[in-house]
Chains A and B, each alone.
Chain A
Amino acid sequence: MTDESSFLLGRLGWDALPFWDMIQNPTRESIINGIIASGAAGMVVLGALAAAALITWYGKWKVLWCDWLTSVDHKKIGIMFIVIALLMLLRAVIEAAFMRAQQAFGLGGGFLSPEHYGQLFTTHGTIMIFFMAMPFLTGLINFVMPLQIGARDLSFPVLNSVSFGLTAAGAALMMISLVLAPFSTGGWTGYPPFTELQANPGPGVDYWIWGVTLSTLSSTFSGINFAVTIYKKRAPGMTLMRMPLFCWTALCTSILMIFGMPPLTVATGLLALDRYLDFHMFTADLGGNMMNYINLFWAFGHPEVYILILPAFGVFSEVFSTFSGKRLYGYTALVIATMAIAVLSFTVWLHHFFTMGQSAHINAVFGIATMLIGIPTGVKIFDWMLTMYRGRVRLTVPMVYAVGFLILFSIGGLSGIILATPSIDYQIHNSLFLVAHFHNMLIPGLLFGMLAGYTYWFSKAFGFQLDARWGYRAAWSWIVGFMLAFFPLYALGLLGMPRRTVAFFDPVYLPWTIAAGLGALIILYAIVCLMAQLWVSIKRRDALATPGGDPWDGRSLEWDTPSPVPEYNFPVLPQVNSHDAFYRQKCDGAPHESPARYEPITIPKNTAMGVIIGVSGTAVGFGLTWHMWWLALAFSAVALVAMIARGFARNTTWTLDAEAIERQQRAWAHQLEQFEPITRQWEQSEANRGVPVPPNEGAIQ
């Protein structure tokens, strides 16, 4: 390589292409792995090209730019977050299926190379946590929370767009790493010294560091934005104790994001210093101490678990209450339990490394703290069950996810209590028992919650419901597939099979790995059902339309708006007098009350800041990964100049005049009168236009 090309391309060469090794040394193993990797890379490239072609064909570039990418509307940013989450979910589930297939055929070898398998479990974990779960919950909070507290937007709409740009940049790096490989093989936790320069000089770990760092920054900013919004922008009368529980969980998650993300920034930052500037923070020699990394990483990692789970708890609280037709049982207890979980989650991080070698009394303290978290969580489980008790429970699609969650999550929690006992943990740590445990928490807990929320609020975002039939298929396949895929892993763990193993030689494992592989197939079918559901629903969007805005006979303020929600959310900020504010209005017989006079509304203007920061973030991360220093420097400068220039911007808002608002609201009110109100029995049918029968006409119990 000449000097010039190495200045321009850094260490990027032909060997980064996924099929290069296959051509250079064609062995059976390298050909199989090369074909799989090239197929994945091909899908990324073709997918991107096809998307670009379709947008050009339909002439939608301007719409994409003006209505979406540069928009600072919290609802659109929320939707874009969820789009990223769903795309990344698809990729990570496919990777999971490859891993299950490898282990189902893994007796004596399997078909994947250890290197390839290592990349698969690393990207699967990294994507599921940072680019599926985080964007999904951030998107949901973004979309729902301001509507529920009766606000017009988040406190800092432009910062919100920047947060989105940073997450998109991280996700882009993950996708680029499929084409210009390899990715890290260090697992989603990236423990040194394996991830240090001596053991891992390639670009893989650097991809991981910058992808994760971008996502961390994004989450910190989102957390600040959400917390300030909840503190400062609630509608008049919306006291903290009148907020829907989803907003409480959003608040606690944001607090955890604000205080729990910095440890990860420190950990990845120091690892980057080790790799780029030859520091010795975590190296095995010259006074470095890798245990510091493990400590820092889990000081983030444990709050992170609750960042993931709390919003799902919030979604389930809304779902149980709505579909039982009852006020949430034990609201105050649930709020206190949520707060207790948030604070306790900072006191348990050591349970991720009981076996590192510290004294037994330290392990005992953290073990007990861990078990303590079971108490508020148990309170929640009972509150949800008591919400259903004596309610008119309707088993809609979100409710199927919620009921599945209730049972499966409790089982996962019990296996967590087992793992929290240090002496037992010494036996089963780092085995598939652990893998089964955390998937048991995160799939029924987080993912079911997110999918329930996606189904529950979809009509609010797009104005039509998701098709119920495919929804049921997806929900049941998720539940069954999950059980078949992960319960065998408990047994495998107890039989002594370590996690992250590419192959094994004990035939006792085989029946269990095959069963788990079949479970993975059912989960793949669930994913297909989700895609079919979306496709069918878009096709039938006119039949499924719910412009009335209240398809589930909802209780909180977001159902007080038309679907899809206008840019300003509320023509006048609602006055709140009680918990379940919108339901109270309906009981009083006066929902959607129109004001005497409409006022003009100030709305923030679109800005390209999010796009600029996103593109610069991708370029800087890519440049640093491949040592293209000019690229990293140039785009750091672009980001800095953009931020300074933004400080000079004035007139960053525009005003929507009162007549336009009045016209829209009148049109909607007129529409509402046309629709036939439906009873809850028909809420998942085409008869549902988003107008329920008023409660005082017999819709309650």
Chain B
Amino acid sequence: MTTHTAGASTRHPGLNLGEPHEEAHSANEELVFGFWVFMMSDFIIFGLLFATYVTMLGGTAGGPGPSDLLEMKGAFIETMLLLASSFTFGMASLSLKYHQGTAKLIGWLVVTLLLGLGFLAHELKDFHTMISEGGYPSRSGYLSAFFSLVPLHGLHVAGACLWMLAIFGQMAVHRIDTQVKTGLTRLAILWHFLDIVWIVIFSLVYLGGLT
């Protein structure tokens, strides 16, 4: 379990870069495992916020409830944007792994970033509509629960976008060296993780609330 030989035995969660990237691959073993543990800790935060959200569904205090404010179209578009970005990030990881050239890697990453920003823009628009229709967080316990859960996911996406920009900066200075590779591997895990959280959000908050 603790052997430090590179290769198939030292695998970590997420896409393994494999032997052609030996240095990054072995550096990843601890880094990615640690990041993975951090993600699990974050899962607990979301899990509890989901449970709390469900317990607050009745706390509308006479204000608007889920079926008055949420709309399916917006949620569907956001879901598609995020799913597509997960796929494009996968393509980026593969072009890193199989040396398909820096241009291709950066191309896929830029597409991913744009999809992420599109998601954020659309989500902000949705929030704006909600607030203008009287669905602001200080209106009721239910809306407080909504605005402590969904924007937290959005905040994570924004953080991930910022991280990607920082990695672009690192690429400009250091080219694609070991740290950039390990950074991208971890960012990929965060990105896919956020998509998983979003699955629960659209199922529980949007679809669950609308039916």
| A adjacent to B, CB under 8 Å | yes
Among B49-57, B83-91, B114-122, B192-200, the stretch that binds chain A is B49-57
A649 nearest CB neighbor, chain B only = B179
Q: Is A647 in contact with B141, judged by CB distance below 8 angstroms?
A: no
A266 to B52, alpha carbons, bound, how many Å?
10
Chain A hits for B148, CB < 8 A: 269-270, 273, 279, 281
A277 touches B137 (CB 8 A): yes
Interface membership of chain A positions 226-263, coded 1 if the CB is closer than 8 angstroms to chain B and 0 otherwise: 01100111101011100000000000000000110111
Whether B45 lies near A279 (C-beta < 8 A) is: no
Q: Is A650 an interface residue (CB 8 A)?
A: yes
Contact with B170, one of A233, A277, A288, A648 (Cβ below 8 angstroms): A648
Report yes or no: A287 in contact with B61, Cβ–Cβ below 8 A: yes
Interface string of A196-239 (1 = CB under 8 A from B): 00000000000000000000000010011101100111101011
Q: Is A11 an interface residue (CB 8 A)?
A: no
The distance in angstroms between the C-alpha atoms of A266 and B41, with both chains bound, is: 12
Given A287-B140, A650-B174: A155 and B30 within 8 A (CB)? yes
Q: Is B144 an interface residue (CB 8 A)?
A: yes
Chain B 30-47 interface mask (CB, 8 Å, partner A; 1/0): 110110011011101100
Question: Which residues from chain A contact B169 at a C-beta distance below 8 Å?
Answer: 644, 648
> B135 in the interface, Cβ–Cβ < 8 Å?
no
Contact A289 B55 (CB under 8 A): yes
Q: Is the CB of B45 within 8 A of A265?
A: yes
Residues from chain A with a CB closer than 8 A to the CB of B66 are: none
- Say yes or no: A238 contacts B140, CB within 8 Å: no
State the Cβ distance, A435 to closest chain B Cβ, in Å: 28
CB-CB < 8 A to A232: which residues of B? Answer: 2, 29-30, 33
Distance A265 CA – B42 CA, assembled complex (angstroms) = 10
Q: Compute how far the CA of A281 lies from the CA of B55 in the bound complex, rounded to whole angstroms.
A: 11
**A278, B139: Cα distance in complex, Å:** 9
Q: How many A residues touch the partner, as a band?
A: 35 or more
Q: Which residues of A contact B154 (CB under 8 A)?
A: none
Quote the shortest CB–CB distance from B184 to chain A (angstroms). Answer: 12
Please tell me if the beta carbons of A236 and B59 are within 8 angstroms of each other in the complex: no
Chain A CB within 8 A of B204 CB: no
Measured in the bound complex, the distance between the Cα atoms of B31 and A654 in whole Å is 20
The interface residues of chain A lying within 8 Å CB-to-CB of B49 are 266
Query: CA A263 – CA B142 in complex, angstroms?
Result: 19
Residue of B nearest to A237 (CB): B2
Evaluate whether A281 and B29 lie within 8 angstroms (CB atoms) in the complex, with A286-B61, A647-B179 already known. Answer: no
CB within 8 Å for A647 and B183 given contacts A155-B34, A287-B59: yes
A273 to B144, CA, bound (A): 9
Whether A286 lies near B141 (C-beta < 8 A) is yes
Q: How far, in Å, is B42 (CB) from chain A's closest CB?
A: 7
* A327 interface contact, C-beta 8 A: no
A156 proximal to B (CB < 8 A) = yes
> Which residues of B are found within 8 Å of A231, using beta-carbon distances?
1, 33
Asked whether A647 lies within 8 Å of B48 as measured between CB atoms, the reply is no
Chain A: minimal CB distance from B62 (Å): 9
Beyond A232-B2, A266-B49, whether A259 also contacts B44 by CB under 8 A is yes
- Are B48 and A299 interface neighbours, CB within 8 A? yes
Cβ of B30 and Cβ of A280 under 8 Å apart?
Answer: no
Contact A647 B166 (CB under 8 A): yes
Residues of A within 8 A of B34 (CB): 155-156, 224-225, 228
Task: Kindly list chain B residues whose C-beta atoms are within 8 Å of the C-beta of A281.
Answer: 52, 56, 141, 144-145, 148
Q: How far is the CA of A648 from the CA of B41 in the complex (A)?
A: 26
Q: Of the candidates B37, B138, B179, which one forms a contact with A279 in the assembled complex, judged by CB atoms under 8 Å apart?
A: B138
Measured CA separation A283–B56 after assembly (Å): 12
Q: Is the C-beta of B177 less than 8 angstroms from some C-beta in chain A?
A: yes
Least CB distance from A574 to B in Å reads 13
By a CB distance below 8 angstroms, the chain A residues around B58 are 287
Q: Which B residues touch A594, using CB under 8 A?
A: none
Binary per-residue interface labels of chain B (86-116) against chain A in the complex, 1 for a CB within 8 Å, 0 otherwise: 0000000000000000000000000000000
What is the minimal beta-carbon distance from A682 to any residue of chain B, in angstroms?
39
Smallest CB-CB separation from B3: which chain A residue?
Answer: A236
Given A258-B41, A262-B41, A278-B138, A292:B179 Cβ within 8 A: no
Minimum distance in angstroms from A137 CB to a CB of chain B: 19
Interface: B167 (CB within 8 A):
yes
Instruction: Annotate A264-297 by CB proximity to B: 1 below 8 A, 0 otherwise.
Output: 0110011001100111110101111100100010
Chain B nearest CB: distance from A47 CB in Å?
36
Is residue B60 contacting chain A, with contact meaning CB distance below 8 A? yes
Residues of A within 8 A of B59 (CB): 280, 286-289
Instruction: Give chain A residues whose Cβ lies under 8 Å from the Cβ of B170.
Output: 647-648
Quick one: closest A residue to B180, CB to CB?
A: A647
The residues of A that contact B8 with a CB separation of less than 8 Å are none
User: What's the least CB distance linking B34 to chain A, in Å?
Assistant: 4
Q: If A228-B30, A281-B56, A299-B48 touch, does A647 touch B167 (CB 8 Å cutoff)?
A: yes
Q: A349 CA to B21 CA in the complex, in Å?
A: 46
> Using Cβ atoms and an 8 Å threshold, which residues of chain A touch B166?
644, 647
Q: Which among A224, A227, A261, A263 has the highest number of chain B CB atoms within 10 Å? A: A224
B173 nearest CB neighbor, chain A only = A648
Question: Does residue B147 face the partner (Cβ distance < 8 Å to A)?
Answer: yes
CB closest chain-A residue, reference B55: A292
> Are the CB atoms of A262 and B56 closer together than 8 Å?
no
- Known: A236-B2, A277-B138, A289-B141. Is A228-B33 also a contact (CB below 8 A)? yes
Q: Tell me, rounded to whole Å, the shortest Cβ–Cβ distance linking A324 to chain B.
A: 30
* Other-chain contact of A287, B1, B33, B60, B167 (Cβ < 8 Å): B60
Closest chain A residue, CB of each to CB of B37: A224
Identify the A interface with B (CB < 8 A): 155-156, 220, 223-225, 227-228, 231-234, 236, 238-240, 258-259, 261-263, 265-266, 269-270, 273-274, 277-281, 283, 285-289, 292, 296, 299, 644, 647-648, 650
Using A228-B34, A281-B56 as known contacts, list a sample of 20 further A-B pairs with CB atoms less than 8 Å apart, ordered by residue number in A: A220-B41, A231-B33, A232-B30, A233-B30, A238-B2, A258-B37, A259-B40, A270-B148, A279-B138, A279-B147, A280-B141, A281-B144, A281-B145, A281-B148, A283-B141, A286-B140, A287-B59, A287-B60, A288-B59, A289-B141
User: Would you give 15 A-B contacts (Cβ < 8 Å), ordered by A?
Assistant: A155-B30, A224-B34, A224-B41, A228-B37, A231-B33, A234-B2, A259-B40, A261-B41, A273-B148, A274-B144, A280-B143, A286-B141, A289-B56, A648-B173, A650-B174
